């Protein structure tokens, strides 16, 4: 028997399930698919994250992060926490903290206590954040989005589209090539 109650969804996401970081009127828009447990996504953040932040701060780029969870329950829990962080305007801070403290894939990391503690490190201490992590408020929503993203992005993570066109994965790890692509 299916529940007639709607699945709660976060208020701070786009209709496509992403979180926009940067100015809506930016010259370019990049959609980035990441899984918080993906070591390649962490590497992408380490190599090119500074360039993307600089482009956003300059008003040249808006990034829409569409978080995946295909690497397991750890990613599902982390994506739930990221959705809660987005509601409090701290999505990118928590996203960067998750990559900085990323556990080895599939080792049971990103536990509920881990996520509450990582949230505290970036100022997420509200009762709404803590209870949302503890109860898994957006887990069903996260899992539903994963099915959609799997159809949109068969490449895995990280993957990106710039102004609705796929970006070659090698460019993501080459700040010089990425700067040229972004016209920086």
pLDDT band, very low/low/confident/very high, at 24 (cuts 50, 70, 90): confident
Q: What residues make up the domain containing 53?
A: 19-181
- Buried b / exposed e over 100-135, threshold 16 CB at 10 Å, is eebbeeeeebbeeebbbebbeebebeeeebbebbee
**pLDDT(105) > 90:** no
Beta strand 165-166 pairing with 61-67: unpaired
Q: CATH number for the domain including 58?
A: 3.40.30.10
The CA angle 134-101-151, to the nearest 5 degrees, is 70
pLDDT band, very low/low/confident/very high, at 6 (cuts 50, 70, 90): low
Query: How confident is the model at residue 166, as a pLDDT?
Result: 93
Q: What is the overall mean pLDDT for the chain? A: 92
DSSP string, 85-115: HHHTT-HHHHHHHHHHTPPPTTSS-S-HHHH
- Mean pLDDT score, 59-81: 95
The CA distance from 123 to 22, in Å, is 20
Within a domain: 76: yes
Q: Model-level pTM?
A: 0.92
Within a domain: 4: no
pLDDT tens per residue, range 134-147: 999 999 999 999 99
Which residues, 6 or more positions from 82, have their beta carbon under 8 angstroms from its beta carbon?
19, 36, 67, 91, 94, 95, 98
**pLDDT(4) > 50:** no
- Mean pLDDT score, 93-108: 94
Within a domain: 40: yes
Of the two residues 175 and 12, the one the predictor is more confident about is: 175
Within a domain: 8: no
The CA distance from 61 to 96, in Å, is 18
Q: How many domains would you assign to the chain? A: 1
Within a domain: 176: yes
Inter-residue contact 78 to 70 (CB < 8 Å): no
Within a domain: 102: yes
Within a domain: 14: no
């Amino acid at each position: 028997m299916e529940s007639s109650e709607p699945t709660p969804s976060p208020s701070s996401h786009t209709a496509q399930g992403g979180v926009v970081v940067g100015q809506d009127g930016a010259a370019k828009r990049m959609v980035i698919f990441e899984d918080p447990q993906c070591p390649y996504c962490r590497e992408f953040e380490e190599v090119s994250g500074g360039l993307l932040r600089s482009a956003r701060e300059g008003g040249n780029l808006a990034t829409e992060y569409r978080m995946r969870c295909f690497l397991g329950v750890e990613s599902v829990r982390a994506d739930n926490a990221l959705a809660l962080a987005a509601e409090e305007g701290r999505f990118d801070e928590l996203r960067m903290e998750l990559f900085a403290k990323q556990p080895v894939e599939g080792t049971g990391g990103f536990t509920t206590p881990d996520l509450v503690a990582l949230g505290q490190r970036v100022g997420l201490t509200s009762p709404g954040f803590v209870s949302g992590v503890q109860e898994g408020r957006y887990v069903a929503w996260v899992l539903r989005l994963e099915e959609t993203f799997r159809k949109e992005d068969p490449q895995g993570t990280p993957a990106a589209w710039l102004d609705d066109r796929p970006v070659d994965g090698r460019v993501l790890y080459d700040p010089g090539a990425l700067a040229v692509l972004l016209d920086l």
